Structure 1
Amino acid sequence: MAVVSKTLELSENWQWKQRDETVESIFDELEAGWTPVKHMPSDIHVELMECGKIPDPYVGFNEHAAHWVGDAEWMYRTTFSIDLIHAANYELLFDGLDTICVAYLNEEQILTSDNMFTPRVVQLDVTRLQSTNTLLLHFKSAKKIAKQLETEYGRVRAGSCNLGDPSRVYVRKAQYDWRWDWGPELMTAGPWLPISLKSYSVCISDLYPQATVDSDLVPHLTVELSMKGELTRVSTIRCSLLDCEGTEVVNVEISPKSSSSLRHSFSSLPSVNLWWPVGYGEPNLYSLKATLIDEASAGQILDQQTKTFGFRRVALIQRPLAEADQYGKGMSFFFEVNNVPIYIGGSNWVPADNLLTTIKPERYKKWLKLLKDGNQNLVRLWGGGVYEPEVFYETCDELGILVWQDFQFACGVYPAHPEFVESVQKEAEANVKGLRHHPCFALWCGNNEGKNPFITFHDYQQVLQWGGITELPARKIYEEVLPEVVERLTYGDVPYWRGSPYGGNGWDTADPTVGDVHQWNIWAGEQKPYQNYDIMGGRFVSEFGIPSMPDLRTIDHWMDGNDKERYSNSKLMAQHCKAGSHETRFAILMNENFKLTGDFESHVYLTQILQSEGVSHAYRSWRREWRGPGREYNGGTIVWQLNDSWPVTSWAIADYFLRPKPAYYAIARELEPITVGILRKVNQNREHDRPRQFYEFGSFESRSATLEIWGTNSTLHSRTAILELQFIDLESAWKHQEKHSVTLLPNQSTEFIKMTCPSREPDSDTTITKSATVVVCARIVDPKTREVVARYSDWPQPYRYVDFPDPQWTINFDGDALTVKATNPVKGLVFSVQGEGNEVRFSDNALDLIPGEERVVGVGGLERDRHIYMSYMGSEHPRRIVTTAQ
Structure 2
Amino acid sequence: MHLAMSAASSLTLSGWRWRQYGEANEEWHQCMHDKPTTEIFTDLIDAKVIPDPFIDENERHVQWVGEADWEYACDFQYEADLSHSRQDLVFAGLDTVATVFLNDQDQILESTNMFHQHRVDVTGKLRPGLNTIRIVFKSALHYGRELEKKHGSYRAFSGENSRAHVRKAQYHYGWDWGPLLMTCGPCGEIKLESYASTLVDVFADARVSEDLHSASVNVSFEAILDQDVTANVTVTAPDGRVFHSKATLGSSTKESRGSVSLEINEPQLWYPVGHGPQIFYLVDVAIMNRDQIPLNRARKLVGMRRLRLVQHSLNGELGTSFFFEVNNKPVYASGSNWIPGHSFLTAMTSNDYASAVDRCLKANQNMLRIWGGGIYEHHALYEECDRRGVLVWQDFAFACAQYPCYPEFAATVKREAADQVKRLRQYCSIVLYAGNNEDYQIAEMLNLTWDRDDHSGDWTETNFPARTLYETHLPAVVAEYAPGVPYHPSSPWGGDGTTDRTVGDIHQWNVWHGSQEKYQLWDKLVGRFVSEFGMLGFPAAKSIRRYVTDPAQRYPQSRVLDLHNKADGAERRLGLYVLENLRVNSLDLDSWIYATQLIQGECLSFAVRSCRRQWKGPGQEYCGGQLIWQINDCWPVSSWAIIDFYGEKKMAYFMTMRDSAPLALGICRSTPELKKLKSPPPQILAPPHDLAPKNYICDVWAMNGTLRDAQAQIEIRLYDLATGVLREDKSIGVQPLLFNRTTELVEDMSVDDQTAVQAIMRDTRDGHVIARTSDWPQPLKYITLCSSPGVSVSVLDGKLEIRANAPVKGLVVSVVPDDRDVEFEDNAVDVFPNDVYTIIARGLRKDDKVHVRYYGSDF
Q: TM-score per shorter chain, which class?
A: over 0.9
Identity in percent: 37
1:76 pairs with 2:72: yes
Distance 1:366 1:256 in 2: 42
Q: Shift of the alpha carbon at 1:834?
A: 5.5
Query: Is 1:499 aligned to 2:490, yes or no?
Result: yes
Quote how far apart the aligned CAs of 1:344 are.
0.7
The CA deviation string for residues 115-160 of structure 1, in whole angstroms up to 9 with x for no partner, is 001111101131664543221100000001111111111112111x
**7, 12, 28: which is aligned to 1:4?**
7
Q: Is 2:209 aligned against 1:214?
A: yes
Deviations 1:321-347 (A, max 9, x none): 1212xxxx1111111111111111010
CA distance in 2, matches of 1:278, 1:205: 32
> Which amino acid is 1:482 matched to?
L
Which residue in 2 is equivalent to 1:716? 707
Calculate the TM-score normalised by the size of structure 1: 0.90
What does residue 225 of structure 1 align with? 221
State the shift of 1:702 in Å: 4.3
The alpha-carbon distance between structure 1 residues 708 and 865, as it changes in their structure 2 partners (threshold 3 A), is closer
Show the counterpart of 2:39: 43
Cα deviation for residue 290 of structure 1 reads 1.1
Equivalent residue for 1:17, pick from 6, 16, 19: 19
Paired residues for 1:153-552 under 5 Å = 153-159=151-157, 163-217=158-212, 218-232=214-228, 234=229, 236-243=230-237, 249-256=242-249, 260-266=256-262, 268-269=263-264, 271-296=266-291, 299-324=292-317, 329-450=318-439, 458-464=441-447, 471-490=463-482, 492-505=483-496, 508-552=497-541
TM-score by length of 2: 0.93
For 1:72-125, what per-residue CA distance to the aligned partner results, in whole angstroms no more than 9, with x for missing partners?
000111222222344210000111100000001122111000000111110113
Separation in 2, partners of 1:43, 1:626: 45
**Unaligned residue ranges in structure 1 (runs of 5+):** 24-28, 451-456, 759-770, 878-886
Alignment of 1:642-657 (within 5 A): 642-657=631-646
Q: State which of 597, 615, 623 in structure 1 corresponds to 2:604.
A: 615
Q: Whole-Å Cα distance in 2 between the matches of residues 780 and 817 of structure 1?
A: 22
* Residues 604, 465 of structure 1: alpha-carbon distance in 2 compared, 3 angstrom cutoff: farther
- 1:53 alignment partner, one of 33, 39, 49: 49
Structure 2 SS opposite 1:396: helix
Residue in structure 1 matched with residue 670 of structure 2 by the alignment: 681
8 Å CA contact 1:240–1:248 kept in 2: the answer is: no
- Residue in 2 aligned with 1:453? none
Partner of 1:139: 137
State the shift of 1:320 in Å.
1.7
Offset at residue 585 of structure 1 (A): 0.3
Residues 601-648 of structure 1 deviation map (CA, whole Å, 9 limit, x = unaligned): 111111101000000100001110111221211111001001000011
CA distance in 1, matches of 2:691, 2:449: 43
Counterpart of 1:739 (choices 731, 740, 763) is 731
Q: Cα gap change, 1:703/1:580 in structure 2, threshold over 3 Å: closer, same or farther?
A: closer
Whether the aligned pair in 2 keeps the contact of 1:812 and 1:819 (CA below 8 Å) is yes
Give the equivalent residue in structure 1 for 2:456. none
| Corresponding position of 1:809 | 791
Cα 1:692–1:749 change in 2 (3 A) is farther
Count residues in correspondence.
827
CA distance in 2, matches of 1:150, 1:127: 37
CA contact (8 A) 1:333 1:516 kept: yes
Alignment partner of 2:220: what SS? Answer: strand
Residue 300 of structure 1, CA deviation = 2.2
Residue 67 in 1 paired to residue 55 in 2? no
Shift of 1:713: 1.1
CA distance in 1, matches of 2:39, 2:800: 44
Q: Give the deviation of 1:875 after TM superposition.
A: 1.3
Q: Give secondary structure in 1 for the equivalent of 2:206.
A: strand
How far apart, CA to CA, are the structure 1 residues paired with 2:196 and 2:93? 25
The alpha carbon displacement at 1:404 in A equals: 0.3
Asked if 1:796 corresponds to 2:791, the answer is no
Report SS of the residue matched to 1:725: strand
Residue-by-residue CA offset, 1:569-627 (whole Å, 9 max, x unaligned): 11111011000000110111011111122232111111101000000100001110111
Superposition deviation, residue 723 in structure 1: 2.0
Which stretch shows the higher mean deviation, 551-560 or 405-414? 551-560
Distance change (3 Å), C-alpha of 1:706 and 1:863: closer
Larger deviation: 788-797 or 390-399? Answer: 788-797
**Are 2:663 and 2:704, in contact at CA under 8 Å, matched by a contact in 1?**
yes
Q: 1:876 to 1:357 in 2, by over 3 A?
A: farther
Equivalent residue number for residue 594 of structure 1: 582
Alpha-carbon distance in 1 for matches of 2:847, 2:29: 42
Letter in 2 for 1:400: G
Paired letter, 1:588: L
Structure 1: distance between partners of 2:816 and 2:690: 39
2:532–2:627 contact (8 Å) kept in structure 1: yes
Determine the structure 2 residue equivalent to 1:884.
none
Indicate conservation of the 8 Å contact 1:178/1:186, yes or no: yes
* 2-structure distance, mates of 1:391, 1:201: 30
Rounded Cα–Cα distance in structure 2 between residues aligned with 1:150 and 1:254:
50
Letter in 2 for 1:860: R
Query: Shift of the alpha carbon at 1:799?
Result: 1.0
Q: State the partner residue of 2:91.
A: 94
CA gap 1:220/1:405 in 2 versus in 1, 3 angstroms = same
Counterpart residue type for residue 232 of structure 2 = R
The answer to which of 730-739 and 52-61 deviates more is 730-739
Contact 1:463 1:470 in 2 (8 A): no
Query: Does 811-820 or 567-576 show the bigger shift?
Result: 811-820
> Which amino acid in structure 2 is aligned with residue 38 of structure 1?
M
Please tell me the residue identity of whatever aligns with 2:842. G
Segment of structure 1 superposing worse, 640-649 or 214-223 = 214-223
- Find the aligned partners of 2:325 and 2:571 in 1 and give their Cα distance: 42
For residue 779 of structure 1, what is the amino acid of its counterpart? I
Does the aligned pair in 2 maintain the 1:842–1:857 contact within 8 Å? yes
Q: 2:567 aligns with which of 579, 584, 591?
A: 579
Alignment correspondent of 2:856: 874
Tell me the CA shift for residue 295 of structure 1. Answer: 4.5
**Alpha-carbon offset, residue 858 of structure 1:** 1.0
Q: Which amino acid aligns with 1:628?
A: G
Change (3 A) 1:704 1:691: farther
2:359 partner letter: L
Is the Cα contact below 8 Å between 1:676 and 1:709 reproduced in 2? yes
Residues in 1 aligned to 2:327 and 2:166: alpha-carbon distance in whole angstroms? 39
Identify the match of residue 565 of structure 1 among 516, 532, 553.
553
**One-letter amino acid of the counterpart of residue 102, structure 1:** T
Kindly state the Cα deviation for residue 244 of structure 1 after the two structures are TM-superposed. Answer: 5.6
Distance in 1 between the 2:709 and 2:272 partners? 20
Partner Cα distance (2:736, 2:233) in 1: 50
Q: How far apart are the structure 2 equivalents of 1:693 and 1:677?
A: 27
d(CA) in 2 for partners of 1:749, 1:228? 54
Separation in structure 2 between the aligned mates of residue 693 and residue 623 of structure 1, nearest angstrom: 26
Q: Distance in 2 between matches of 1:200 and 1:864?
A: 62
Separation in 1, partners of 2:816, 2:765: 42
Q: Spell out, residue by residue over 1:264-298, the C-alpha distance to the aligned partner (whole angstroms, 9 max, x if none).
A: 111x32543211111111111222111122352xx
Q: Which sections of structure 2, spanning at least 5 residues, go unmatched?
A: 451-460, 675-679
Distance 1:465 1:483, change over 3 A: closer
Cα deviation digits, residues 195-249 of structure 1 (max 9, x gap): 11000000101111112212111222111111112132x2x3222223569x673
Q: Deviations over 1:408-443 (max 9, x none)?
A: 000000010111111011110011011101110110
Question: In structure 2, how many angstroms separate the alpha carbons of the residues matched to 1:90 and 1:828?
Answer: 62
